[in-house]
Amino acid sequence: MLEAAGVPFQVVDAKIEENDVKASLRARGVRDAELAVSLARAKALAVTAADNDLVLGSDQTLELDDGSMLDKPASREELVEQLGRLSGGSHRLHSAAVVVEGGQPVWSATETVAMHVRSLGTGFLQDYVERQYETVRWSVGGYHVEGMGAQLFERIEGSHFAVQGLPLLPLLSFLRTRGMLRA
């Protein structure tokens, strides 16, 4: 998304154990959109950078209507179970980004998107998981709306960029205020 938007960047792996950080945050009662922001912050803070470099961390969380949270599916069977839980219902996808400069957070944004899943037939689920698992296993909810995952939904309310994992428009606005992009 950044490349397509004309934003120069360099990818640096945040060396954190995401599952451990997530478990610690959840143990302290951090949930929903706050969990996405906290994970994005942890990732950005884990990257060593020069004082004047901006480091962007991002993450997503998925909250079901009953308040429970889903994680990335650990197996094909777990993906089938998760999609079964999503089938015919709605959920909220919280997408967060945090920018760190000089080891301190200087900006953050969160966007929440309402995702309405159609009723999914057994044959479709089996075919989807067989064809898409290796692609979507790293995604909370087990889908990419920019691919075959679009077939899961009857309606999406909110930013397409946030669904893809980044509150891009607020980030671009921040970068303009910093003079990194032309206004």
60 contacts 93 by C-beta, under 8 angstroms: yes
Cα 71 to Cα 140, 147, 175: the distances in Å are 5, 20, 30
**Contacting residues for 68 by C-beta, under 8 A, at least 6 apart:** none
Cα 56 to Cα 2, 99, 106, 141: the distances in Å are 11, 5, 10, 23
107 contacts 98 by C-beta, under 8 angstroms: yes
180 contacts 138 by C-beta, under 8 angstroms: no
* Beta strand ranges found along 21-133 (DSSP E): 54-64, 69-70, 90-101, 104-117
**Residue 156's beta-bridge partner residues?**
115
Question: Which residues are tagged catalytic?
Answer: 59
Q: Is 141 helix (H, G, I), strand (E, B) or coil?
A: coil
